[in-house]
Structure 1
Amino acid sequence: MELRHLRYFLTVAEERQFTRAAARLHIQQPPLSQQIQELERELGFALFTRLPRGVELTSAGAAFVVDARAVLDALDQGVVNARRVANGQLGSVRIALTSSAAFHPLATAAIRQFRATHPDIAIDLNEINAADIIERMMHGRVDAGILRKPIETPAELRFDLLHEERMVLVLPVGHALLRRSKGTKTKATQATQGTRAAKQPRVPLKALAGESFIFVRRPGAPGMYADFIRACEAAGFKPDVVSEVPRMLSAINLVAAGAGITLVPASMQRYQQEAVVYCAVAGDEAFSAPLHLVTRRDAANPAALRFAQAVLAFVSPGEKGVETLDAH
């Protein structure tokens, strides 16, 4: 049985006449009659009762109409769905973000907009470290990633800069460096003027010698602190890393507990705690935390390609500049 047999049968069933059905199908009437007879022989029962001026469906033929139409409708819908998959309008995309990237409002806003504009694309979203994102993308287990500054940039992957912002120092409230830093305001002044209006403290780089640092585990985020460590070494000291944690929020919490100090991207100042103060590192503007979209150059998933295009279109050129240090 061929699909054309089903189409011929349904047309005759609708027209109740071979002549009109043949005209609709753009074929001659005798070949159409032969095709219907072949179908009836294959099925083993009559589909039509022949009348002097047309045909009527038999009981078996009426039952077969329902299933034949369902088969063709399913095929048509399958073609539509396949075409939408090929165009990146239907399907799924696996996205991975680092914790600090997930905290940036640009990343979440871009994903939210993509969900709104592509409701038929399922999103599998995971938060993992940068090294794991690269590894999973290389093995085809992740379609797109949003991360900061990886050291490893395999040729098979494409890295598009979405945004660049400053790194800021995180100190516990009452730290000795805050008493010596310029621009520090009293808590009462901050309460009066509001956090945004309060001028951000600035701490000289050399003043950080001897401090205890908490970093995100460098195997997971190898590129995040590289510029800072090099700057410290150029200033004559090596940062004393007393703890490495899996997430930046964990580092901020440890700072709040008095376990040391850390650096985070400026956008993480949205994570407000009364126990910590976010500061600029004075005298060096090299500490940045770029935000990158990572995709495979040979990506075969149309939904992933559509996601990448949507994210890049979402980010206007003006948004790729460096954030101000006292932005929240």
Structure 2
Amino acid sequence: MVNTEKSLELRHFRCVLAVAHSLHFARAAAELGISPPALTKQVQETESLLGTRLFQRSKRNVVLTPAGELFAIEAARALEQLAQAQDVARRAGRGELGRLEIGYVASAAYSGVLQAQFACFRAAYPGIHISAREYAMESLPELLDQSRLDLAFVRPPLHYPDGIASVVLLRDRFVLAVPADCALAQVEVVGPAALAQQALIVPEQELGTLEVSRRGGFAAQVVSRPGSLVAVLTEVSLGVGCAIVPHSVMASVQLPGVCFRELAGPPISSEIAAAFRRHEQAPAARAFIAQLRPAALA
């Protein structure tokens, strides 16, 4: 009858496997660092718990029974699985395994910042799976604060909840995108005042548009806020108006019917930053944050 009051423990598995490997109780006991009587007791207890004999024993030899052979195979697998589970837990605790959910704005990809950080992290932590998705910029801080994302690549300035911090990874500048058939397309450098009468398409980050209108001394005639930079440039290509966009977009995206021109005066700074929770606890996210800090610009 099977003993239902107790369950097999790791010591039972290890003792049976030691005997199964050497087929000699004294050698197995020496390998385990216990006395032969103690080993015999452990094996007998295992057999009692299982309700079957695992070894046929005589004065001259020890032989596995058919049940013992099968048990030894499965016991070895169980111990291997346990070792693997322990290794996985330790590696996850060190930030070597896990999963990261990262949000980004498209300009982080156009600038190459996103790709550079991902490549660096994957080289250092190949066991961590990274899932990345583009989001509307204004939603990213809240998604971070709600722990729905682990990190976010954004374009400041942006309002962050109290628990969110960020580091600047790239400084860019704004340029002007105009329809190819617009008169401004014939000018190499455009002054802010020249945009006073132009219809303006505003991207998610409106800092450039606001600064150009301030410098030009006019109220921007905003005709559209389509969201993503590709949508903004598409409207420019359709002749809807002009747009103030990051230089990284000019270097990465070419659409028919769109010309890019420099803006006169001091460059209007445009930044790419990585945002994260100030008191992050997840090892994988902490590892990514640790990577970001040395790359941060003063």
- Is the pair's TM-score, using the shorter chain for normalization, greater than 0.5? yes
Alpha-carbon deviation of 1:259? 0.5
The one-letter code of the counterpart of 2:266 is D
Residue deviations 1:155-183, cap 9 Å, x none? Answer: 2112011101001111112322344x3xx
1:227 deviation in Å? 5.5
Q: 1:143 aligns with which of 136, 150, 153?
A: 150
Count of aligned positions: 290
Aligned counterpart for 2:192 among listed residues 205, 217, 241: 205
Higher RCO (CA < 8 A, seq sep 6+)? 1
Matches within 5 A, 1:156-175: 156-175=163-182
AA aligned to 1:245 is: P
User: Who is 1:29 aligned against?
Assistant: 36
Superposed CA offset, 1:243-297 (max 9, x none): 0112111111111111000011101112123422211211232x22200011112
Instruction: Tell me by how many angstroms 1:106 deviates.
Output: 2.3
Structure 2: how far apart are the matches of 1:68 and 1:305? 37
Partner of 1:279: 261
Shift in CA distance, 291/110, structure 1 to aligned 2, threshold 3 Å: same
**The 10-residue stretch of structure 1 (166-175 or 225-234) with the greater mean CA deviation from structure 2:** 225-234
5+ long unaligned stretches in structure 1 = 182-200, 322-328
Does the 8 A contact of 2:209 with 2:244 survive in 1?
no
Partner secondary structure for residue 57 of structure 2: strand
Contact map agreement 1:156 1:297 (CA 8 A) in 2: yes
The separation in 1 between residues aligned to 2:169 and 2:63, in whole angstroms, is 66
For residue 93 of structure 2, what is the aligned residue in structure 1?
86
Spell out, residue by residue over 1:88-124, the C-alpha distance to the aligned partner (whole angstroms, 9 max, x if none): 2222111111122222222123223433543322221
Task: Find out whether 1:251 has 2:232 as its counterpart.
Answer: yes
Show the 5 A alignment for 1:221-260: 221=204, 224-226=205-207, 228-230=209-211, 232-233=213-214, 235-260=216-241
**8 A contact 1:130–1:150 mirrored in 2:** no
User: What is the aligned counterpart of 2:245 among 264, 278, 291?
Assistant: 264
Identity over aligned pairs, percent? 33
Work out the CA distance in 2 between the residues paired with 1:214 and 1:227. Answer: 11
Determine helix, strand or coil for the equivalent of 2:240.
coil
Q: Which residue is equivalent to 1:305?
A: 286
- Give the aligned partner of residue 8 of structure 1: 15
- Name the SS for the 1:107 alignment partner: helix
* Cα deviation, residue 56, structure 1: 1.4
Q: Does 1:107 align with 2:114?
A: yes
Q: Secondary structure at the match of 1:215?
A: strand
Alignment of 1:57-72 (within 5 A): 57-72=64-79
Gapped regions of structure 2 (runs ≥ 5): 1-7
User: Does the CA contact (< 8 Å) of 1:203 and 1:280 recur in 2?
Assistant: yes
Alignment-derived partner of residue 324 in structure 1:
none
SS in 2 for 1:260: coil
Q: CA deviation at 1:125?
A: 1.1
Is the alpha carbon distance of 1:141 and 1:116 closer, same or farther for their aligned partners in structure 2, counting shifts above 3 Å?
same
Verify the 8 A CA contact 1:18 1:54 in the aligned structure 2.
Answer: no
Query: For structure 1, which segment, 258-267 or 142-151, has the greater mean C-alpha deviation from structure 2 after superposition?
Result: 142-151
Q: Is the 1:94–1:144 contact (alpha carbons within 8 Å) kept by the matching residues of 2?
A: yes
Determine the C-alpha separation between the residues in 1 that align with 2:237 and 2:292.
34
- Displacement, 1:207? 1.6
Question: 1:131 Cα deviation (Å)?
Answer: 1.5
Moved more, 144-153 or 241-250: 144-153
Using the alignment, how far apart are the partners of 2:185 and 2:52 within structure 1? 93
Deviates most, 144-153 or 164-173:
144-153
The CA distance in 1 between the partners of 2:213 and 2:112, in whole Å, is 30
Superimposed CA distance per residue, residues 291-327 of structure 1 (whole angstroms, 9 cap, x where no aligned partner): 00111122222222223334555x4x7xx59xxxxxx
> Residues of 2 paired with 1:306 and 1:62: CA distance?
45
